[in-house]
Structure formats: structure tokens, C-alpha cells
Amino acid sequence: GLEETICTLRLRENIGDPSRADIYTEEAGRISTANSHTLPVLRWLQLSAERGALYSDALYVPHWNLNAHSVVYALRGRAEVQVVDNFGQTVFDDELREGQLLTIPQNFAVVKRARNEGFEWVSFKTNENAMVSPLAGRTSAIRALPEEVLANALQIPREDARRLKFNRQESTLVRSRPSSSRSSR
Amino acid sequence: QQPRFGECKLKRLVALEPSNRIEAEAGVIESWDPNNQQFQCAGVAVVRRTIEPNGLLLPQYSNAPQLLYIVKGRGITGVLFPGCPETFEESQQGQSRIRPSLRSASFQRDRHQKIRHFREGDVIAFPAGVAHWCYNDGDTPVVAVALMDTTNNANQLDQNPRNFYLAGNPDDEFRPQGQQEYEQHRRQQQHQQRHGEPGQQQRGSGNNVFSGFDADFLADAFNVDTETARRLQSENDHRRSIVRVEGRQLQVIRPRWSREEQEREERKERERERESESERRQSRRGGRDDN
């Protein structure tokens, strides 16, 4: 029965095709994922992959990888990337350019912002169903907190807590403010 | 990853007291040294937290799954599963009850993920990487012992227990205090060297995950002004990981008992106490037969 099962296993899944995107924001970019649901052989390998494209000045909101390390290979363009550890220390704060590889350990928080020419990448993740937990936006941990927990935790008025919770309606990819309105670093 | 029981060349086992103690604004965090051979052998780390009434343990996630036992007290906890809907919603009526000053229809009503009640004797499971918070809504301190299974398959980092805070400026619960003060001082120096004088800085010097990002990034991500975004970094917050909720009790959306249900529950509680008392008496009488 091997020829009916193992030998004919589906080993390929195209995640580069924009029309196959799993997450798409018209102004900001797209993300496609291959995991053990879309490509069952990945259950054996216990790996998955994410292919992303950020348009000019777009932002992949701060997030952490819940159950996997992530090794990011830059395919095209440039992005400002920051990675933060459990002590709140910035362990990476640099530009990621085409051809470069960056390892983001499990649970470390990361944010990416594309430069003018946009940014494309592929991430290899060390779990067959790698999951991401966003820190901002509609599906974020901050949004899931009661307003008053946030207000007390940050010592801010409830109005500010509400703004932090609800001002961003997108879930993952967002359009960044024009660079002229951002304070210089 | 270290194989489980890989460091078990133990000649003698010892009962251990916590070796590190941190006093927070509304509680105490005591931890056992995770580098102790016994814990290395078992691949676990243990921490005991005491949360005073009206104390809030700040939202956090860790690199290993945790099992928490409530030694005493009662409270509520929120577990923030990514992508799950906010199923607890404030009604228009509730909104005006909680916040009479904010009755304008244009205001967004609050909603958040499920809240769970806990009391003495409960075990609570927190999956690795899933953020959670706890609040003591009782009259007595909550004492909770948490075990982190650092060699669990869910943890792909090293065996060090790591807590990632989403707010506040907490200390590392598993590092001795002297070492923490030294490292904090060193970090502040590095920070000032990199970013100039305090006040001009973009990035926070706190310890939560937001403090490592530029405030600009956060302002973009949350669609708020830079000043509000900077509050996420909790730079000058000295309350540590358990903070006191100001004034009244924490107002969150949660189902409450009706009067009948409350009475029924109290009756059941009294019956349970009577039963366990009679079990204790019986076991004292039959103690000799025990092996």
C-alpha cells in the first residue's frame, strides 16, 4: 500500500501566489501559511512556513510566536525589525535586507516595518501548526483584556485604555503613518 | 533541549524553602532557585505568589506550561487566547451602571475574553505562551503556587523559566535580587549611552515586552499618539508585578450569582465542610489500620 500512501504524499504547497493569501489588507500586505492542515506531511516534519509581503511603510503589528521558533529569510526589499526578550531588552534592532536570515526565538516579541520599497519574507517555524499572538489590533491580547485591567496595569485613564483596545481594527498588517509625521529616531 | 531527568545525579534529596523574595505593591513573589539540582532533574521551576485583596497580577505569558494551585483565597483570572472572540460584553445598561460619566452613545462598549473564578483548592492550567492575569476579589490574601514545566515539549527555548509581561515594570521572579539590581543599573547605563538623556528617549527602560520597542512603532500599531503608546512601556512604574487596583474593586464584565443560586451554593459549601469534617473524624478513629 505504500504507493497509494507514502509515495503519493503531497509534498508541495505554493505559498507565494498572492491569490492564495490567508491574511490580506489592501493597504498593508498579505501573509500565506503552510501548516499541517494545508500540507499534511508537515505533521511528520513538525515544521511550518509563512510567506509574507509588506507594502511600502506597512507594519506587521508587534506579536510573539506562541509555540515555535521562527527563522526569517528576507526575499525582497528591506524592513526595520525589532525583537524583544523577556526582560524587555531589545535583542535585535536593525534593518533586515534581502538575502539575510534572522532567528526569532519562541515567545520573543517582534515588530516589522517595511521600508519604501516594501518587504517580502519567508519564515520557517519549528512547529507543524505555529501560532502567532498579536499584541495590537482586533485579535490581540490587549483587546482581550478588560478595559479596567488595562487601565490599572498601565496607570492610565479608561479613555486611554479604550483607545489602546479599540483604535486599531485590523488584526495583523496595518498601514503605517507617513514617515514625516513620525518623530525622528 | 535538555533530556528530561538528564541532570539527576542526586545523592540526597532536601526539602527546600523559597530562595528569592520580591515585595510588590500588592503582594509578594517567592521563588525556588530553578538552578537547584533537584529542579533541574525534574525540569521544573516553582514560584509562590501572594496577592493581597484588591491586588492584580499583571498580564504575562511564559515559555512553559504552568499548573497553578490555589492554596487559599479566591479571585478571578482572565486567559487571553489569541484569535478567540471577546465573549463577555458590556450592555448599554451595564455601561451606564459602571461608568455614569461615559454615557455617550459614541463610546465603544467594553468587551473582553472569558473570565474564570477560582477559589481555594482549585488547580488552574495555563498553556505555554498564552497570556493571563489574576485578581484577588476576596477579603483575604490569595496564595497560589505555580509549577512551570520547563522541559515540556511546548517549550523550545532553554530550561530557564521566563515570564514575558504585557504591562508594568516587573523583576525577574527567578533571579536573586542583588543580581537584578546590578543588571538594572547596567541596563540603565547602556540605555543612556545609546539614547542620550532620559526624556529624549524613544524606547522605554522598563521590563515588559513593549519597553523594547520604539514608541513610534507602538503608536502605529495601536493607532494612538506616541504619548499614549509610551504608557505601554511603564517606564517609571515601581509597583512590580502585583499592583493594587485603585479605589473600588476591579470592574470587569462577569456573570454573577442570583440570590437563590448564591444561597444554594452556600448551602452546598456548608454540606461539603460537614462531610469533610466527618471524614476527618472517621479517619482519626481508623488511623491504626492505615499502612
Instruction: Give rounded-to-5 percent helix, strand, coil for chain B.
Output: 30, 25, 45
pLDDT at B100 over 60: no
Q: Do A152 and B224 touch (CB under 8 A)?
A: no
pLDDT value, residue B287: 57
Per DSSP bridges, beta strands B55-62 and B131-135 are antiparallel
Q: What is the DSSP string of A28-85?
A: TEEEEEE-TTTSTTHHHHT-EEEEEEE-TTEEEEEEEESS--EEEEEEEEEEEEEEE-
pLDDT value, residue B199: 41
Interface of A with B in 52-111 (CB under 8 A): 59, 61-62, 64-69, 82-91, 105-107, 109, 111
Query: Count of H helices and E strands in chain A?
Result: 4, 10
Average the pLDDT over B63-67 and give the result.
Answer: 92
pLDDT value, residue A176: 83
pLDDT in tens, B187-212: 666 655 555 544 444 566 679 999 99
pLDDT in tens, A15-74: 989 999 999 999 999 999 999 999 998 898 888 999 999 999 999 999 999 999 999 999
Nearest to A149 by CA among B56, B229, B286, B279: B56
pLDDT value, residue B8: 81
Q: Flag whether residue B76 sits within 8 Å of chain A, measured between CB atoms.
A: no
Pick B175 or B243 by higher pLDDT.
B243
Indicate the pLDDT class of residue A183, thresholds 50, 70 and 90. Answer: low
pLDDT value, residue B272: 84
Q: Rounded to an integer, what distance in angstroms lies between the CA atom of residue B199 and that of residue B150?
A: 39
Q: Determine the distance in angstroms separating the CA of A12 from the nearest CA of chain B, rounded to an integer.
A: 26
Residues in A closer than 8 angstroms to B26, CB to CB, are none
ipTM over 0.85: no
Least confident of A131-135, A179-183, B86-90: A179-183
Average the pLDDT over A125-130 and give the result.
Answer: 92
Q: Flag whether residue B108 sits within 8 Å of chain A, measured between CB atoms.
A: yes
pLDDT in tens, B7-52: 687 888 888 999 999 999 999 999 999 999 989 988 999 999 999 9
Q: Flag whether residue B126 sits within 8 Å of chain A, measured between CB atoms.
A: no
Least confident of A72-86, B16-30, B76-90, B172-186: B172-186
Interface of B with A in 29-48 (CB under 8 A): none
Q: Flag whether residue B187 sits within 8 Å of chain A, measured between CB atoms.
A: yes
pLDDT value, residue A113: 96
Q: Rounded to an integer, what distance in angstroms lies between the CA atom of residue B92 and that of residue B100?
A: 11
Average the pLDDT over B238-245 and give the result.
Answer: 95
Interface of B with A in 242-261 (CB under 8 A): 243, 245-246, 250-253
Q: Flag whether residue A181 sits within 8 Å of chain B, measured between CB atoms.
A: no
Which residue among B82, B251, B253 sits closest to A131, beta carbon to beta carbon? B82
Residues ≥6 apart with Cβ < 8 Å to B291:
none
Q: What is the DSSP string of B160-220?
A: S--EEESSS-PPPTTS-HHHHHHHHHHHHHHHHHHH-STTS-SB--SSSGGGGSBHHHHHH
Nearest to B171 by CA among B23, B2, B59, B49: B23
Find out whether A88 and B207 touch, Cβ atoms under 8 Å.
Answer: yes
What is the rounded average pLDDT for all residues in chain B? 84
Q: Determine the distance in angstroms separating the CA of B228 from the nearest CA of chain A, rounded to an integer.
A: 7
Pick B176 or B286 by higher pLDDT.
B176
Indicate the pLDDT class of residue B181, thresholds 50, 70 and 90. Answer: low
pLDDT value, residue B195: 54
Least confident of A152-161, B24-33, B266-275: B266-275
